[in-house]
Structures are given as structure tokens and as C-alpha cells.
Amino acid sequence: MAQAGRWYFEPIRPDLIVGSALEEVIYKGKTRYQDVQILRLSGFGLCLVLDGKTQSAEADEYIYHEALVHPSLVAHTRPERVFIGGGGEGATLREVLRHRSVRRVVMVDLDREVVEICRRFLPRHHQGAFDDPRAELAFGDARAYLNDTRESFDVIILDLADPIEGGPAYLLYTREFYRVALARLSPGGVLVTQAGATDPLSCQGGFSAIAHTVATVFPGTLAYTVFVPAFGSPWGFAMGLAEPLADAPTADEVDKRLRERLAKGTRFYDGITHVGMFSLPRYLREGLRQETRVATDEDPVFVT
Amino acid sequence: MAQAGRWYFEPIRPDLIVGSALEEVIYKGKTRYQDVQILRLSGFGLCLVLDGKTQSAEADEYIYHEALVHPSLVAHTRPERVFIGGGGEGATLREVLRHRSVRRVVMVDLDREVVEICRRFLPRHHQGAFDDPRAELAFGDARAYLNDTRESFDVIILDLADPIEGGPAYLLYTREFYRVALARLSPGGVLVTQAGATDPLSCQGGFSAIAHTVATVFPGTLAYTVFVPAFGSPWGFAMGLAEPLADAPTADEVDKRLRERLAKGTRFYDGITHVGMFSLPRYLREGLRQETRVATDEDPVFVT
Amino acid sequence: MAQAGRWYFEPIRPDLIVGSALEEVIYKGKTRYQDVQILRLSGFGLCLVLDGKTQSAEADEYIYHEALVHPSLVAHTRPERVFIGGGGEGATLREVLRHRSVRRVVMVDLDREVVEICRRFLPRHHQGAFDDPRAELAFGDARAYLNDTRESFDVIILDLADPIEGGPAYLLYTREFYRVALARLSPGGVLVTQAGATDPLSCQGGFSAIAHTVATVFPGTLAYTVFVPAFGSPWGFAMGLAEPLADAPTADEVDKRLRERLAKGTRFYDGITHVGMFSLPRYLREGLRQETRVATDEDPVFVT
Amino acid sequence: MAQAGRWYFEPIRPDLIVGSALEEVIYKGKTRYQDVQILRLSGFGLCLVLDGKTQSAEADEYIYHEALVHPSLVAHTRPERVFIGGGGEGATLREVLRHRSVRRVVMVDLDREVVEICRRFLPRHHQGAFDDPRAELAFGDARAYLNDTRESFDVIILDLADPIEGGPAYLLYTREFYRVALARLSPGGVLVTQAGATDPLSCQGGFSAIAHTVATVFPGTLAYTVFVPAFGSPWGFAMGLAEPLADAPTADEVDKRLRERLAKGTRFYDGITHVGMFSLPRYLREGLRQETRVATDEDPVFVT
């Protein structure tokens, strides 16, 4: 009997739901900002669930985190200083630190409790990254941090919750925020943000709205997508470039840079994967081409 | 309340299930070969479900059917005679007939009743394709048909149920069958088969086993994948070439051929989409590289 | 696999849900007053579902309808004129008409469309009762009807939707309404109303509030309960007596009256069943004893 | 959204399933005999689940355990020595020990590990009963124990898993076993066994087969039923009497005996509740009347 027993259900849309066999409730609680669960789901391993939305799963988090981190660091000539907004599990930090050129990473997460919970319960996610001497961890609003700092960064990575009305993150998806971030990028710098589901039936255009907003601020913009099993959907990312790319890197160039810069090979990302991620299916390119919305502080874009 | 009301649940794995709001049970019955349902699912429209497995949904069948049909016809210099094995909904036939060069299509489906049900209840799927004078419809075993015919084809398209133990299709995924099919291809001919889910956590290697089996028979082989929302997973295809490709077509070449050959543009497939589909993520390439299984009549490969 | 396939889910509480295998969606639509579904559920047969709440199922409606109708008619010396408020399926009417003494039944249902749908799709529920010459069918508000008529009734049966905030029925559960109804009862008359779930963990006291409200208006009051499989819960009823009962009828007396008054035996209700229904478990008697709420037009009692 | 989040599903029949919001997985494991889970379910509190079947829930176990224990002890003139077969949670023991006349209770459960798990995780179930000096706990087969002992008992209580094919308990529901048990009853002794669901649509006649088997062995037999929310169904019990009852106790007699014999009042069971439980609805009496099956060691009766 497939569905007797313990299950965890998560809606993709109001009329579409994914259920996973639930092995264990490792942790559940409420922080000041959000509802937190650490669940062990059959086939997925330990999962972080915030406000009822799976953030990452042990079994496939490398897909999401490699896709989030490496394209922007590879796009940069020599990434030394990196800023991470969000990223509570520590896996984004882990991937950044694999780049030998990186000398300093500032990670600013809103929710100290979530980071502590992840540090304790998700060791395979962070793999000790928080203890790396190059990493500096701060708690608070990433936007306020970037606004107030005088430091500049080569790469800014935004590993955030989706922009939900009333949620903690939607002001990190607006034109005003991207201007703040661009001002903190060094010449040749790159920003990348997670940009939500790209499932053509479910994504509600959040992806294209985010990518378009980035495009109104940055001299260069790229968007890409990858299937993440734990999200039950392909997932999108938008990249803003402080200087437009002359040419997109070829698969061979991506592979060459990874070989030169990383001590140990990636599991998911490489040159051909890169080409696949950036060669968007037609419906996504059409969506981007037709998109006119710009998320602003006054008129944000929400996904639901 | 999300899950009160009528729902349709379909397992992806024993421990992973997808539920869709069910609007209407249009048809349910049993044919000689299989269990048939036509359901209207919220967001997906009319769906054909055989033996509890969604075959296609009105809202996104163009993704699956364009991905199945056009790469092989585009790879061919001038496809005139096409064979379709399976394809009961008529949507594969519909896409084939859009190519102006096509002069004759033979479609052989095992289950006359399923084709009649689709013809009656799924008009947006077939869009009248069954009435095209170039189309010849036959009922029976596609393998027996290919074995017995003296006709040769430029393209053979296999739009089949997954190879399930005891199911009606697994002998259309074996080395022996691919040899029969290759013998019926004209010089420069192309075969393509659907090859199951490529979700890295769920696919159980069916995809790589099928692609590897094709590779043991055909001089050239290609594999590709695309996300299909109604399947809740990216989906794989394997292509066998009667003569190895000198060079893979570029995005521009794909677009040029589509412009020349089709009266009306595609919705999903084009040059960049093509590049994305064929640039497999690393885990799939690794899976293909390490695959050693060859499905034979005596020792078939099953997915469950 | 138990839960693959088509299912119908109905919440009993927000944290408790019952799912039934769904065989067919016979009808779905919206009337002026409510959402209507006729579903065929495995094991239950055809079910009427209003606003997402199962009203009755072919397989066990005799339990609910016999429990609703016969105790009050049996309590009356010689029921001739009966009023039914609600009762769209026609099964309450059917049970009333089985009493040979009954000469006239007025059934007033708010929703003409629901009655027409039931008449068409639920023939095993009504079994032709609507065509009985003793039955008069009217559409509109049962309270307004009772308020305006000069006729009096021996028995008033209220077969209504639960009192839901914003729903069509909550003003048929108030003290003011019961006063109207009592004024229309002939001497020795009896009123009975369905009174919602009596599951000790889920019933939220709707049952005791309704019974207590009846008790504030009627000289005599009785409450009883019976398990109804299609509701997944025991169900309650409250009876108001225009004159207090000297003695409750014994099992033998109930059986004697049934034999004398009904042409054909009941399936569920008889003397011993009667004793079982009226011998409430302690938690229900305690709940009734401690109840102080009185539903009024200004301050109704709702169940959710 | 009702069904997003963590849920626990348990089938009542293959086509009927009950889902509860799952708060915590307190324990899961396998003993030598069975699969064990301690779950905290919303509204039900801590639940013991054996082989996927809820045995009892903190919030309503008093209903099941009072219904199992008190009628037989009340039926006995002066119960001093009591035998419990099964009863791992310790709640049956707890209820037995409330009777002041009881001087010795032998509880024999097959599964030492389950008893230890309950003792540790379900303190509100046993409430320290295991530490009562009148209680003797043994592990092993209750049938073998009764067969081998020379001791006789005033009351034998069988708090067992349902008779499932291949399960640990079905040989404790046969004629041969009841003969062993009857031989161990003192004059005037009483045996009671749980007898499964009595839901008229789901119970498959397990209840009537058990009661009928008891009736073929014991001079007197009684059957009764009560709704248990955690089982989603009314539940049945069969009682075998070493000497036939002259008269069933009246509600007042039950209340009088409870007052005399128990230090503290019951929560669920009393005189009127007793009458309600023993006044079976007609369909159950009909089922009992028509039952012809007798479970034997060679030809047991199973429920599924």
C-alpha cells in the first residue's frame, strides 16, 4: 500500500501536491521569523523545510547548490571576495569555499536560529564550512548589510526564500535592492539569485519577473534553469553582470576553469551541464522576452 | 483546504507520489490490453492514463510530442516515410504530419480501443491527424509489423508505454527489436524511442539501459532529456542513427530546417531548446558512460 | 497501492481527513445556494456532496434516514401530517411515507436544483417518493414557510445542512426558529433535527448546543446518536416534544408500533436499536448536562 | 491548506483511508514480532501503532480500555484474579487494578520490546500500573501460558491484535483457544476479547465470527460495541460466561457496582453507557444471528 503510513505533502500549486514517505521528524519549531522543520524523507534524506516549503534535501542539494554557486564564480575572472545573502544550510558557503581563489566570504542570514539548527542537524549539508577561517557569518538583513558596508565583493549570491507576501525575503528581489547590490560589486563582479520554479504550468512568471528586474539594473543579465528533484520542478536562477559578457563561455572553457580553480571536481556542474542550463526551452525564453514587470519596493512581485 | 475534494494520485516511486485536483472522470474502462482512464485534471486538462500512468496531458503534451518527433525528423535530410509504434493519442502523428516532406506515415498501435477512445475524447491531442490521407493506421504489434513488412522508413518513432514486466511494450526495447527496426530504416534513417524518466533520484537507470541498448545496435546514438510537467520529472529519449552524424546540428541549423520544413512554427522545440535537451546534466552522462546493461528478449530491462 | 488513483477526501476536522476511492464523478455544479457533487465512491455507492460535505451515501443512507425519521413518528400516537425541512435526496420523505397513518407530508427545501439533481441521479435514495400523492413539495425557506402557514403538523423533521457561518441553514437551529416550529405542532407533536457529529474528539459541542437550544423551547427534549459510516463518525439528533413524555417507550413497544404502522420492516431501526441510540455514552450526557449555550438569531452557534 | 504538511494515513479498508496530521515520530523500530511506531497525532496525542494499525491513542484510549475491562469485571460477583492476554500499553492493566477486589493480575504479552517501549514512551497510558505489587508481568504466548498454568482466574481479558493471516494473534481467536481459556476460568468466571471493527460497511464479519466462536464454547455469550475515534469506527467485543447470566444488569446495578468497587469514577463507562453498548444496532444482531463460521486452529477466521 503506497500511501498508508507517514507522509509529508507539499503543494507545488493549490491543485498539485507532492507527497514523500516521511521517515523521521528530526526537528520542528518556530523561530522569530519562520516555521522550521528538519525531516528525513525516504529517498531524499534530511530536508530543511521553512514555512512548509522544502529548501534543500541531502540527496540532491548538490544540484541546486552547484547550480547556484559555480556559474557566477566561473564567470568571474578571479573571485576573491564573495557575499552570500541567506544560505542557512551552509551548503552555498561550502561550494563557494571550494574555489581556491576565494579569500573571504561574508554570509548574512536573517535567522540565527535556522543557521544553528542547520549547523547541528545538517552536517552533510555544510560539511564544516562554517568553521573555515575565510568565512564570516553575520545575522540580520542582507540588504541592510550591503547598504551599510563599505566593502565591495566580486560575487554576490542570493540564496533566499521565494518572494512571498508578508515573507522575510521579498525586499531582496526588488530593483532598489539590486541597485544596492550592484553598487557593492567590484568591477567585473557578478550577482546571482535563485529565481523560483520554471515549470511552465506552475511558475506564475516569478522567474521571468525576477530576471527582468535584474535586467533593468545590471549591464548584463543571464538566466538559467535546472531540474531539482526535491522541488519537483525545474528551478531558475538569474545572473546580473556588472559588465556585459563579451562571449558566453564554451563548455570547454567552463571545464578548464573548474579544473584550474577547484581542488576537487564537482558532482553536477561542468561544461556541458552549463550549456544545458543556459539553453533555456523556448517557453522560458518567450516568457522572458514578453516580461514587462519590474519588482520595486513599492510594487513587489510575489509568488504564491 | 488543499487536499479536500477529488484528487488523482500517481506514484513516481513507491515513496513519492504526485496528486492533482481531479475535475472529471471522462472515461474509465478496460481494453483487452490495459486499463484506460481519461481524466480532466486541474491545470493539466484532459489526460490519458494507461494502467495508472499518465501518458500525456492536454496542457503540456506539446512538450513531450515535439521533443519526441522533431529532433529525429530534423536530423534526417529529407524525411518522407515515417513509422510510428504506439502513439495512441494521435499527437505524435500530428507532429510528424507537420513536416512538409513527409509523404506517408504508418502508425501501428497495439490497442485499437485506446486509439478509438483517444480519437473520441481527445480531439485537441490528435487535431484530426487520423484523417490525413498520408496517414495509415494499423492495429497490432509494431515489432511484428516491422518484421513482416518489406517497406523501409526514413524515421521510426517509438511512442510506447514504459518497459514494465508483464506489460505490453517491453519487447519493443530489446536489442533484437532494434535490429529489426534498423533493418527497416532507409540509408540515413533515424530511430527515436521514448526512454523513461531521467530524474536522478527516481529513474533507476531505465534511461541509460535503453540508450545503451540502442547504442549496441546503431552506428550512431544520441540521448536527450526534457522536463514534462505532467510526468513530474524530466523525461529521456534515445536516438539511433543508421549512419553516424558527422556533426551535431547547431541551434541555427535546427532553426533553419524548422523554418524550411514546417508550415507553422513549433511551440516548444527550436534551436536553443535543442541544444538544451542534448546537453545532458553530468549525472546523466555519467550514468550513460557507466552503463553496461543490454536489454535482450531473454533478459529484458524493466522499470517499475 | 492503496492511494494511487482517484480519491475523494473530506475533512472531519482540520487535522483529520477521510479518503475514499472515487469511482465516478456523476455530476458537479453550482446552484444558487451551494456547490453540488454526485460522486460514486467505492463501497459507499452514489453520494450527495454539498459544499464539500457528504450528505448521504447509497450504501448506508438507510441508517441515517431511519434514525432521523422513525423515532419521532413512533413517539407520536398517530402521525398524520408531517413537515420536512430540507431533505433534498427524498429519502427522508420516503421513510415518512412508509408510516400508514401519514396522510400528508409537506417538504420544503431551499434549493430546487439540488432536489432536481437528486431526483434524476439518486433514484435509489428517493425510490419514487416524490410521486406519492400524499407528498407536497415546495421550494424556499422552511422557516418562512412555517412562519406563514396556518397549518399544523404532528411531526416536524429537520434534515438540514450543519449550521455553518454564512451557510444556508444556521437560522434553522436557533431558539427563535424552534419557537416558530413549536407553534406549528399539533398537541402531542414532535420535532426532530439532525444535530451534527457526536465524535467526542471532533464534535466541538455542536450537538449539545443544538440539543440545549431545543430544550429551552420545548416541554420535553431527547437526544440520541448513531454511527453513520459515510460520515466517519457517530451522528446526533435532538427531539423536541410538545408535551413531555410520561415514559420512554421500551424496546418491545417500539417493535410493536413498527409492526402495526409500517407495511414493510425497517432495515436498521427497531426496539433494541432504539434503546442503543438513546442510551448515550457518558461523555455525551456530560456534555449535555454542562451545556449552557443557546443559539439565537443574534448569536447563532456554528460548527466548522 | 488541510493536507499539506506531515500526515499519517491508515487504511480502514483498501478503498477507505483516514489521515491524521502527524506532529512527531516519537519512536519507530521493529521488534522480533512486529513493526512498532509511537506517533504523536494532532488531536489524538501519543499513539501506539503496530504493523501499521493504531492500537490506542492517548486522547481516547479510556473509551476502548474502559469498554474492554469494566463490563466483564462488573459482570463478575467479586473479581479477584484476572488474566490479561496482550495489553502492551498497560492501560488494560491500569483499569483492572482500579477494582478494589482485584488481588492478582497476570499479564502475558508476546512482545517484551513493545511493553518496554510503551512503558518508556506512554506513561499516560499505563500510569504506573506495571509497578503495582498485584501485577505480575510475563512475556510469551498467552495461550501456552494458560495451557500450562494450574492457576484459575475470575476474569480473562484478551487485548490482542486483530486475527491477521501470518500475524501473531490469530490462534488466540479459535475454538481450541477458548476451550483452554474456559478451563482456566473459576466458577462464575468471565472472558472478554476485543473483536474488531463493527462498521457495517467495513467489518467483513470478523466481529460476528469471533462472537459466534465464543458462543460455541461458553455457556453464555454477550457482544457489545462502542465508537472509538482513533479507530475511525465502532469497535466490537465478545464476552464468554462460564455460567449463563440469569439477567443482564440494569443501568442502576452497573452504577451501584462501580460505586462500590472502584475508588475513583470512570470517565466513559457507566450504567447508561453499558445499556447503549449492549443494545446493538439491528445490522449487528442480524449478522450475529446469521453467523455460522467457527474459527478453529485448522481453519481460522482472518480479518484483512
- What per-residue confidence (pLDDT) applies to A1? 38
Q: Is it the case that residue A183 has pLDDT exceeding 60?
A: yes
Give residue-wise pLDDT tens across range B86-102: 999 999 999 999 999 99
Cα B219 to Cα C151: distance, rounded to the nearest angstrom: 92
Q: Which three cell numbers stand for residue B163?
A: 518497459
Report the mean per-residue pLDDT for chain C: 95
Beta strand B16-30 with B5-13 is antiparallel
Q: Who has greater pLDDT, C202 or C155?
A: C155
- What per-residue confidence (pLDDT) applies to D83? 98
What Å distances lie between residue A227 and A64, A128, A272, CA to CA?
A: 8, 27, 15
Query: Quick check: A24 and D28 CB within 8 A?
Result: yes
Neighbours of chain D (3+ CB pairs under 8 A): A, B, C
- What per-residue confidence (pLDDT) applies to C3? 65
- What per-residue confidence (pLDDT) applies to C1? 38
Beta strand C45-50 with C35-41 is antiparallel
Could you tell me the maximum CA-CA distance found in chain C, to the nearest angstrom?
A: 59
Query: Quick check: A17 and B15 CB within 8 A?
Result: no
Name the residue facing D8 among A6, A10, A28 (closest C-beta): A6
**Three-state secondary structure call for residue A207:** helix
Other CB atoms within 10 Å distance of the CB of residue B3: 24
CATH 2.30.140.10 fits A7-55, yes or no: yes
- What per-residue confidence (pLDDT) applies to B248? 81
Report the mean per-residue pLDDT for chain B: 95
Query: Quick check: C18 and D14 CB within 8 A?
Result: no
Residue of D nearest to A35 (CA): D5
Cα C135 to Cα C156: distance, rounded to the nearest angstrom: 14
- Residue B32 corresponds to which amino acid? R
Query: How sure is the predictor about A297, in pLDDT bands with cuts at 50, 70 and 90?
Result: very high
Report the mean per-residue pLDDT for chain D: 95
Active site residues of B: 159
Q: How many CB pairs under 8 A join B and D?
A: 13
Which of chain B's residues have a Cβ under 8 Å away from the Cβ of A223?
none
Q: Is it the case that residue C131 has pLDDT exceeding 50?
A: yes
Residue of A nearest to B59 (CA): A201
List, in order, residues 6 or more apart from B130 with CB less than 8 Å away.
B90, B93, B115, B119, B137
Does residue C3 belong to the interface with chain B, where contact is any CB pair within 8 Å? Answer: yes
What Å distances lie between residue A153 and A73, A82, A83, A188, B109, CA to CA?
A: 12, 5, 6, 10, 60
Query: Quick check: C1 and A2 CB within 8 A?
Result: yes
Query: Quick check: A4 and C2 CB within 8 A?
Result: yes
Cα A8 to Cα D8: distance, rounded to the nearest angstrom: 9
Interface with chain A: mutation pick from B199, B275, B282, highest number of A CBs within 10 Å: B282
List, in order, residues 6 or more apart from C104 with CB less than 8 Å away.
C80, C81, C82, C134, C136
Q: What's D232's DSSP letter?
A: T
- Mean pLDDT of all residues in D285-304: 94
Query: How far off is chain D from A34, nearest CA to CA, in Å?
Result: 15
Give residue-wise pLDDT tens across range A11-36: 988 899 999 999 999 999 999 999 99
Query: How far off is chain C from D251, nearest CA to CA, in Å?
Result: 10
CATH T-level assignment (fold) for domain B61-290: Rossmann fold (3.40.50)
Q: Are B160 and B191 in contact (CB under 8 A)?
A: no
What Å distances lie between residue D159 and A272, B4, D120, D133, D169, CA to CA?
A: 63, 35, 20, 21, 10
Interface with chain C: mutation pick from A1, A17, A20, highest number of C CBs within 10 Å: A1
Query: How far off is chain A from B230, nearest CA to CA, in Å?
Result: 9
Give residue-wise pLDDT tens across range B33-76: 999 999 999 999 999 999 999 999 999 999 999 999 999 999 99
Which of chain A's residues have a Cβ under 8 Å away from the Cβ of B251?
279
Cα B79 to Cα B202: distance, rounded to the nearest angstrom: 35
Give residue-wise pLDDT tens across range B247-303: 888 999 999 999 999 988 899 999 999 999 999 999 999 999 999 999 999 999 998
- What per-residue confidence (pLDDT) applies to D1? 38
Q: Is it the case that residue A174 has pLDDT exceeding 80?
A: yes
Interface with chain D: mutation pick from C16, C272, C274, highest number of D CBs within 10 Å: C16
Give residue-wise pLDDT tens across range A83-127: 999 999 999 999 999 999 999 999 999 999 999 999 999 999 999
Tell me, rounded to whole angstroms, the distance of Cα B43 from its chain centroid: 22
Q: Is it the case that residue B1 has pLDDT exceeding 60?
A: no
Cα B176 to Cα B299: distance, rounded to the nearest angstrom: 11
* Domain edges within chain B: 7-55, 61-290
- What per-residue confidence (pLDDT) applies to A3? 66
Active site residues of A: 159
Give residue-wise pLDDT tens across range D213-264: 999 999 999 999 999 999 999 999 999 999 988 788 899 999 999 999 998 8
Which of chain C's residues have a Cβ under 8 Å away from the Cβ of B14?
1
Which of chain D's residues have a Cβ under 8 Å away from the Cβ of A9?
3-7
Give residue-wise pLDDT tens across range C89-128: 999 999 999 999 999 999 999 999 999 999 999 999 999 9
Cα C273 to Cα D200: distance, rounded to the nearest angstrom: 14
Q: Is it the case that residue A204 has pLDDT exceeding 50?
A: yes
Name the residue facing D9 among A3, A10, A28 (closest C-beta): A3
Which of chain B's residues have a Cβ under 8 Å away from the Cβ of D17?
none
- What per-residue confidence (pLDDT) applies to B3? 65
Query: How sure is the predictor about B304, in pLDDT bands with cuts at 50, 70 and 90?
Result: confident
Query: Quick check: C232 and D232 CB within 8 A?
Result: yes
User: Edge-to-edge strand order for the sheet containing B135-139?
Assistant: B135-139, B104-109, B81-86, B153-159, B185-197, B233-241, B220-228
Query: Quick check: B22 and C6 CB within 8 A?
Result: yes
Interface predicted TM-score (ipTM): 0.93
Query: Quick check: D6 and A22 CB within 8 A?
Result: yes
Which of chain B's residues have a Cβ under 8 Å away from the Cβ of A18?
16-19, 232
For chain B, positions 241-280, list CB contacts with chain C under 8 A: none
Neighbours of chain A (3+ CB pairs under 8 A): B, C, D
Does residue D24 belong to the interface with chain A, where contact is any CB pair within 8 Å? Answer: yes
Which of chain A's residues have a Cβ under 8 Å away from the Cβ of B199?
227, 229
Query: Quick check: D5 and A9 CB within 8 A?
Result: yes
Cα A239 to Cα A249: distance, rounded to the nearest angstrom: 14
- Mean pLDDT of all residues in B13-17: 90
Residue of D nearest to C5 (CA): D15
Give residue-wise pLDDT tens across range C233-287: 999 999 999 998 878 889 999 999 999 999 888 999 999 999 999 999 999 999 9
Does residue C18 belong to the interface with chain D, where contact is any CB pair within 8 Å? Answer: yes
Q: Who has greater pLDDT, B109 or B303?
A: B109
CATH architecture of the region D7-57: Roll (2.30)
Q: Which three cell numbers stand for residue B57?
A: 496531458
Query: How sure is the predictor about D23, in pLDDT bands with cuts at 50, 70 and 90?
Result: very high
Which of chain C's residues have a Cβ under 8 Å away from the Cβ of B6?
6-9, 22, 25, 37, 39
- Residue B25 corresponds to which amino acid? V
Tell me, rounded to whole angstroms, the distance of Cα D203 from its chain centroid: 16
